[in-house]
Structures are given as structure tokens and as C-alpha cells.
């Protein structure tokens, strides 16, 4: 989808990042160098975040004493390495190739947790006692000609227990809200990815929809909140932005304009416009509303849905799509590596070559360790993946672990976009074992195998998904003779349970759900 698919996006390009993740600069694992190396494997921009302050921590007593000590050690660690963090954040940046931002995390029982961002690699740790003082600090930065913002995250926890407190929210300081991360999804109470962390279940008072009901206007993002030096760790959360260029100014202005969308993992390119205005926009009252959506997903689409004022309003389903019979093919397939029983991590070296066809693009789908202090042979290395792509050949070196539960995917992988015909085949070498399979065979379904027989680590080449199943353009008309205020956003689901959510477009004054307060 380049350049942009809709008129509103013609001068823009999609970029993907992770603005909230951790390593050993505070309480986390893996070095900052490893974190930046991992970020550059599969992201366009990132920030590596340090835990900095928690002014209203619970008392250091009983079962919470360890929690207080744990956090305070992390805060002290960040303060001691802050100069180094700034230097390495600057060193990671390269206009046009990779964009880095400086950030720190500020916790609050009352207000909820926020990450504070600077538009470059320089800034101070602010140990504000409350949210008003944090905003005053941001005002000081702005008055001096700098730029800073604060983004709330894991907003759907119980209010008063580090969930967002919507009455305190101010979009002048927080243009976007993080609704997806390893904590889960905060769209609403029955959204995918439930909250399963020890911090507790979702409470609707902190949900995205509750904030919109209250009349707040904000965009949405995802980030991983990964704690082991893996920005962009697949399936933990990411964000996309529509920006004119890959620079700090380009990404920052996209965040301010709310041209953003939240992702679970796959690079789902999502464009949404209402009466020609892109997602994040505010429009005056109008009775006629033309909605346009274009999606280029990472796999076969299940549905694209428009949500109006918190209610599913329009939908396109993909289950009835006709099978393609043409011998010519353009589409995607994925390589996945992992599985096996508990034991030492499995090292992988996989090489895939497209013969009698063309390899058009490669999307890494790589993960960091879920449990870096586990007993499964963890050796302390956090940057363990290398990727090479030259012409029609891609090579991946990485490692995987047994999936810790049957509901937790720790496989590593790649998505390949290719074109070919009945003569096209894939020649692969996986840990020294060679295999060849035709594109025609993969159009019918996946192929898989073991490294060493039953319950040993395994590989899979997925079904080859034709472009018609993952690239859609949809349009709807909404006519309201009374031109009542409303907000609209789009959510996208792939058949493999990967998701995307657009930032809303707001029409008219208020744009709140009727009669509701959080």
C-alpha cells in the first residue's frame, strides 16, 4: 500500500514501531545495545523505555514489600545510566532508516501509568508527584521550544490500581492512548486479548470506549511493554503511523495528528478516511458521511468492521471470497519455527529461495523470550536473531523455546510476499535439512515437519494466501439528517487472530456516546 491507498494518504507512507518496552536500564533483562539491535530487525521506529518513578506506591509492608523494593531498585538503576541511555538513543537514530525517541515511565495508582516522550534523544527524568506536576514539566519543555508528550498504557486496569482515570485525561498532552500490549487489549470488556497479568482483570471504566463515551478525543496505538530487550516482539503489540517521511519530525507529527493504528503483531496496513479526512481527524457537523477503508493485511482477512459510537455499525466479511483459479499468483505465506518439548533452546538457521518466481518482500515476525529467567536453558543472550534478504533468497538465524502453555505462541518466523505461477517452487534448507515444495501445493494448504521426529522442534510453511484475501477496499455511506455528533473507528481481524484498530474520526461537537460517563 505505497504510496497511500486513499486520497487522504497519497503523500504518506505506513511505518511501524514500538514506543513502550524495557530492558536492563531499569527492571528488565537484556542490554540497551541488544534492545536497539532487536528493534532494527523488524521496526521502523522505537523507544526503549526506563521505569522512572512511582509517587503513590503502596506501603512497604507485607506481601507488597518485595514489589516496592523491586521498583525502587529499577528507578535507581535508570537514574545511574540516564546519560548513557540518551547517548545510545541518539546513536540508534538514522533519518530515513530508523527513528529513535527517548522515554521514561511514570507510574500512578490514582492516575494510571504513563510513558513520557521527548521528540529526540535528550531530556530529563521527571519525578512528578502527580499528573498536574508532570504536565507542568511538559509545559516547561514546550515553552523552551522542545516537544514532549505523555501516553497512558494498560488503561483498562481497575481505577485506583494503575488503570487510567479518565476524568484526569487531557488530550493536549496525550494525543494517543496505548490500547494493546502484552497486558491485553483495552478496547472494551469483550475485546480480544483479555488481561491475564497479576495486576488483575479488565474494568470497563478504563476502557477505550469509556474514554470516548466521556467525550475525550484521542488516537490509539499498540506497543509491546516487553521486558527482555525485544522492541516489537511479535504478538505483544505494535503501532502503525501514516507519515510523510521516516524522520523524528515525521513520526512525531503523525502521533500528534493521531494518524495511528494499534496492532497485535502482523504488519496490517490500515487506512481509514471519513469525507476525505484521515483517521484522527475532527470534522464539523455534517449529515452525509462517506467512510472509506483500505487494508493490506498480513494474512487472510476474517472481517473489517466500522464501530460507530461504541456499536458495530458496518462490516465486510471474507468467508465468502471465491477461490482464485488463475495460475498466476501474488500473495503471502509464512515460515514458522519452534514447538518441541522443554529443554535447551533450539537454534535455527533457515534459508528459503523462490525459484521461477519473485520474492517481493519479507516481514520478520520475531519474538523475545517470554520468561527470561525460566529454567529452560536461558543463557543470557537477548539479541539472537539475524536476517538477510538478497534478491529472491532470505536467510534467518534465530532460536526458539517450547511454547510454555498451549495458549502461548513462542514460535519465530517470517512472512514472504511473492508472485509466481505453476512453475514456481520454494527451496528451503532448515537446520541442514533440504526440502522443496511447489507454490501450487502451498496454495492448497501448509507443509510442516520435525527436526528429529515426534515432539521434537518443528517447522511450518503456511498456506499461500492470495492477495484478494488480504487486500481489501471497503466503503459505506452514513446519512444522519440531524447531523448528530459521532465518532467512528475501524477494527480488523485476520483469520489467524491478528488484529488492528484505527484511531477514530470525530464528527461534530462532543462526539460522545449518548448519556454515558465512565
Task: Find out if CATH 3.20.20.140 is the number for domain 13-126+142-182+217-265.
Answer: yes
Look up the pTM and report it.
0.95
User: What percentage of the chain reaches a pLDDT higher than 70?
Assistant: 94
C-alpha–C-alpha distance, residues 392 and 357, integer Å? 8
Determine contact, residues 245/96, Cβ cutoff 8 Å: yes
Q: What is the mean pLDDT of residues 467-473?
A: 96
C-alpha–C-alpha distance, residues 213 and 487, integer Å? 10
Locus of grid cell 483517521: 279
Confidence band (pLDDT; 50, 70, 90) for 322? low
- Tally of residues, the chain: 518
Q: Where in the chain is the domain with CATH 3.20.20.140?
A: 13-126+142-182+217-265
Question: First vs last Cα of the chain: how many Å apart?
Answer: 38
How many alpha carbons fall within 13 Å on the CB side of residue 291? Answer: 28
Neighbours of 196 (CB within 10 A): 12
Among 486, 497, 189, smallest CA distance to 313 is for: 486
Q: For residue 21, which phi and psi values (nearest 5 degrees)?
A: -160, 170
Beta bridge partners of 38: none
C-alpha–C-alpha distance, residues 280 and 371, integer Å? 36
Q: Name the 3-class secondary structure at 164.
A: coil
Q: What is the pLDDT of residue 343?
A: 79
Q: What is the pLDDT of residue 381?
A: 87
CATH code at 329-468: 2.60.40
In this structure, what C-alpha cell is assigned to residue 436?
A: 522443496
Q: Where in the chain is the domain with CATH 2.60.40?
A: 329-468
Q: Which residues contact 512 (CB under 8 A, 6 or more apart)?
A: 212, 213, 214, 215, 485, 487
Q: Which residues contact 144 (CB under 8 A, 6 or more apart)?
A: none
Sign of CA dihedral 88, 91, 97, 103: positive
Q: Which residues contact 221 (CB under 8 A, 6 or more apart)?
A: 19, 151, 176, 177, 178, 179, 180, 239, 255, 260, 261, 262
pLDDT tens digits, one per residue of 203-231: 999 999 999 999 999 999 999 999 999 99
Give the helix/strand (H/E) hosting 113: none
In the chain, % helix, strand, coil (3-state, to 5) comes to 15, 35, 45
Confidence band (pLDDT; 50, 70, 90) for 378? very low
Q: Name the 3-class secondary structure at 331.
A: strand
Confidence band (pLDDT; 50, 70, 90) for 5? low
Amino acid at each position: 500500500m505505497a504510496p497511500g491507498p486513499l486520497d487522504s494518504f497519497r503523500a504518506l507512507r505506513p511505518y511501524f514501531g514500538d514506543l513502550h518496552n524495557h530492558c536492563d536500564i531499569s527492571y528488565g533483562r537484556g542490554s540497551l545495545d541488544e534492545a536497539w539491535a532487536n528493534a532494527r530487525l523488524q521496526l521502523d521506529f522505537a523507544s526503549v523505555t526506563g521505569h522512572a518513578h512511582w509517587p503513590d506506591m503502596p506501603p512497604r509492608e507485607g506481601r507488597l514489600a518485595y514489589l516496592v523494593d523491586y521498583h525502587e531498585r529499577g528507578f535507581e538503576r535508570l537514574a545511574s545510566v540516564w546519560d548513557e541511555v540518551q547517548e545510545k538513543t541518539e546513536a540508534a537514530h538514522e533519518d530515513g532508516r530508523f527513528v529513535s525517541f527517548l522515554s521514561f515511565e511514570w507510574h500512578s495508582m490514582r492516575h494510571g501509568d504513563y510513558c513520557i516522550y521527548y521528540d529526540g534523544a535528550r531530556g530529563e527524568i521527571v519525578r512528578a508527584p502527580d499528573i498536574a506536576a508532570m504536565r507542568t514539566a511538559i509545559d516547561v519543555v514546550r515553552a523552551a521550544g522542545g516537544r514532549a508528550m505523555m501516553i497512558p498504557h494498560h488503561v483498562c486496569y481497575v481505577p485506583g490500581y494503575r488503570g487510567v482515570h479518565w476524568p484526569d485525561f487531557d488530550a493536549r498532552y496525550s494525543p494517543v492512548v496505548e490500547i494493546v500490549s502484552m497486558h491485553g487489549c483495552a478496547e472494551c470488556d469483550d475485546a480480544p486479548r483479555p488481561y491475564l497479568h497479576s495486576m488483575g482483570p479488565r474494568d470497563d471504566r478504563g476502557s477505550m470506549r469509556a474514554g470516548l463515551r466521556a467525550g475525550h478525543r484521542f488516537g490509539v496505538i499498540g506497543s509491546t511493554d516487553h521486558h527482555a530487550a525485544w522492541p516489537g516482539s511479535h504478538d505483544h503489540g505494535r503501532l502503525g503511523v501514516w507519515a510523510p517521511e521516516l524522520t523524528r519530525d515525521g513520526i512525531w507529527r503523525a502521533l500528534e495528528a493521531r494518524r495511528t493504528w494499534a496492532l497485535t503483531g502482523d504488519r496490517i496496513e490500515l487506512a481509514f478516511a471519513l469525507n476525505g479526512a484521515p483517521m484522527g481527524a475532527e470534522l464539523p457537523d455534517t449529515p452525509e458521511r462517506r467512510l472509506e477503508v483500505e487494508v493490506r493485511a498480513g494474512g487472510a482477512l476474517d472481517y473489517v468492521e466500522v464501530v460507530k459510537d461504541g456499536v458495530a455499525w458496518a462490516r465486510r466479511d471474507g468467508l465468502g471470497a471465491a477461490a482464485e483459479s488463475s495460475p498466476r499468483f501474488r500473495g503471502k505465506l509464512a515460515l514458522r519455527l519452534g514447538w518441541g518439548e522443554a529443554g535447551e533452546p533450539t537454534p535455527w538457521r533457515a534459508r528459503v529461495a523462490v525459484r521461477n518466481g519473485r520474492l517481493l518482500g519479507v516481514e520478520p515476525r520475531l519474538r523475545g523470550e517470554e520468561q527470561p529467567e525460566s529454567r529452560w536453558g536461558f543463557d543470557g543472550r537477548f539479541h539472537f536473531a539475524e536476517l538477510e534478504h538478497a534478491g529472491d533468497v532470505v536467510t534467518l538465524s534465530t532460536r526458539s523455546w517450547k511454547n510454555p502453555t498451549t495458549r502461548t505462541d513462542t514460535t519465530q518466523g517470517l512472512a514472504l510476499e511473492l508472485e509466481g505461477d505453476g512453475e514456481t517452487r520454494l527451496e528451503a534448507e532448515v537446520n541442514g535439512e533440504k526440502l522443496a515444495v511447489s507454490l501450487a501445493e502451498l496454495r492448497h494448504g501448509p507443509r510442516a515437519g520435525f527436526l528429529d521426529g515426534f515432539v521434537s522442534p518443528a517447522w511450518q510453511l503456511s498456506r499461500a494466501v492470495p492477495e484478494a484475501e488480504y487486500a481489501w477496499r471497503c466503503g459505506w455511506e452514513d446519512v444522519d439528517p440531524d447531523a448528530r455528533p459521532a465518532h467512528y473507528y475501524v477494527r480488523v481481524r485476520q483469520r489467524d487472530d491478528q488484529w488492528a484498530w484505527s484511531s477514530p474520526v470525530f464528527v461534530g461537537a462532543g462526539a460522545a456516546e449518548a448519556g454515558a460517563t465512565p
